[in-house]
Amino acid sequence: MLGVPAVAQDDGPTSELKEALERREQSARLQERAVAAFESGDIEAAIALLEEQLELEPANALAMYNLACVRCVGGDKDAAMEMLKRAIEHGFVDFEQMRRDPNLMDLHETELFRQILAQRRPILDAAGEMQFEVVRGKYGKAYAYDKDDSLRVNFASAYDQTTLDAAKVELRRISEWALEELFTGLNEPAMREVDPWVVVVLPSERDFRAWAIAMYGPASVTGEFSRIGGAYNHGRKELVAMDLGGTLRHEFLHVLHWRSNMRRAQGHPVWIQEGLCSLVEDYEMRSGRLVPVPSWRTNTVKNLGRTGRVMEITDLAGLDRHAFNNRRPLANYAMARAVFLYLYQRGLLTEWYAHYTAHFEEDLTGVAAIEAVAGKAIGEVQEDFEDWVAGLAYVAEASSDGLVRYLDVGLGVEVDPGKGEGPIVTRVSRLARVSGLRPRDVVTAINGRPTRDMNDFVRVLSAYRSGERVEVSVRRRAEHMTMEVMVVGK
């Protein structure tokens, strides 16, 4: 039985949004109560609560799966199998979870269960195609559609094919790094053989706002929370990203991490999920290899260090999801990324993940694995980590207050952060105009290095000196072009 948030359902017209959100919240509460009842041994109460949840959300595949587990534990194998079949028909395709779930033990030796596992590949393909058909129907002919069989990803994009192709190249690059440095088990067997399809939606601004409101409520597009650039919903196998920079990279690593989790029937804590996936938000290519680098998040940790407020790794590892996301979340994300960047730069990241997953049941936090691969107690690791942080240089960053810090060069233009495809040129100096840049140009790369968001832009630009000439890639209306531009001092 999976005690995770209920799978979100499609919402319908905007006029019905409030009702849909209330229904989703009620469904989540019912699921929490059902899990609590099940864990306390009250099978009948758990069944009643899950049936009530399905009356509220008849297509909720996770609720169906949970009900199959409860009925199986309760001794009703026939009803459990029927509910499991319904869950699969509605998109629950985590077969490794089914195979390892002790709550389904009485079904494991049945002929029908063996047949389901034997047919997992065609079931996965059919589920992926059904999901893709729904997405195509939702977004229509204005979007571009594509797929990557090796990654098991379907794409729906409001951007043109050139932009979509560039995003696909970057996701393959991230996948190659992840399979080499972290999730090495995804090579055996290859993802295209056993993992569910995921749909990656790169929406228009209007469609993104509608998605954000439907998923998180009106607060998602107003005030501080409006900075959300996308998310991956594992229950739906759907990644939505308006921001084609750090957000898309971060969320796609969540896809790969969840695949690793599902194969192992593990659920890693939030600090590990977010810390690992934050690594690819900022990277450089060195000798053809992706290399995670210090970022605005490490700037945050350096600032904490200057005032003696760097969090203990053990305290970070002890945060639950609510505390991680609601108590100083920017500091928590920064710390989590910094810890894993530290392990990466010490040459310990691959070994850490292998040790952690092999000894997961012994220590869910990951702290023991850090001690094991570092060969020292966590207190000594903490001291070395803080020394490492102090030795890092500050990185050029675009702060949430709109200011750019630690950058002393530019392209002779002023830019707006844009909506996710890249910064938008708003004002051009005479020198930059001679080079060919124009207002409303969207800057997508500098010397081939993606600049999909402002932190991409300033980090990439900071590598050059005044007087150097760089090749700037832009989209001007429907045309993609490159031009040579001189870097100038500020």
Does residue 6 fall inside a structural domain?
no
Do 168 and 260 reside in the same domain of the chain? Answer: yes
Assess whether pLDDT exceeds 50 at residue 12. Answer: no
Question: Do 215 and 277 fall within a single domain?
Answer: no
pLDDT grade for 420, boundaries at 50, 70 and 90: confident
Task: Determine contact, residues 62/6, Cβ cutoff 8 Å.
Answer: yes
Q: How far apart are CA 387 and CA 377, in angstroms?
A: 16
Percentage of the chain lying above the pLDDT 70 cut? 94
Q: Which amino acid is at 162?
A: T
What pTM, to 2 d.p., does this model score? 0.91
Q: Are 160 and 252 members of one domain?
A: yes
Domain check: are 279 and 247 in the same one?
A: no
State whether 418 and 306 are in the same domain.
Answer: no
Asked whether residue 37 carries a pLDDT value surpassing 70, the answer given is yes
Q: How confident is the model at residue 5 (pLDDT cuts 50, 70, 90)?
A: very low
Domain at 152, CATH number: 3.40.30.160
CATH number at residue 473: 2.30.42.10
pLDDT score recorded for residue 227: 60
324 domain residue, yes or no: yes
Q: Let me know whether 133 and 255 are in one domain.
A: yes
CB 296 within 8 A of CB 456: no
User: Is the residue at 9 inside a domain?
Assistant: no
Same domain, 387 and 347: yes
Q: How many domains does the chain have?
A: 4
- Is residue 323 domain-resident? yes
Within a domain: 463: yes
CATH number for the domain spanning 58: value is 1.25.40.10
469: number of CA atoms within 13 Å, CB side? Answer: 6
pLDDT of residue 403: 86
What pLDDT shows up at residue 223?
Answer: 52
Write out the residue range of the structural domain in which residue 32 sits.
Answer: 14-118
Question: Considering the domain boundaries, does residue 296 fall inside one?
Answer: yes
pLDDT value of residue 22:
83
**Pair 301, 414 in one domain:** no
Q: Residue 232: inside a domain, yes or no?
A: yes
Report, as an integer, the average pLDDT of 85-111: 92
Question: Are residues 185 and 105 part of one domain?
Answer: no
Answer yes or no: do 271 and 233 share one domain: no
Q: Please, are residues 444 and 415 in contact by the beta-carbon 8 Å criterion?
A: no
Task: Using the 3D structure, point to which of 231, 265, 299 is the last residue of a domain.
Answer: 265
Strand partners, 241: 230
For residue range 375-418, what is the model confidence (pLDDT) as tens digits?
999 999 999 999 999 999 999 999 876 789 999 999 999 999 98
Domain-terminating residue out of 57, 87, 118: 118
Of the three residues 55, 85, 118, the one that is the final residue of a domain is 118
In a shared domain, residues 388 and 459: no
pLDDT score for 400: 72
pLDDT tier for residue 7 given thresholds of 50, 70 and 90: very low
Whole-number pLDDT of residue 278: 98
Residue 123 lies in a domain: no
Residues 249 and 276 in one domain: no
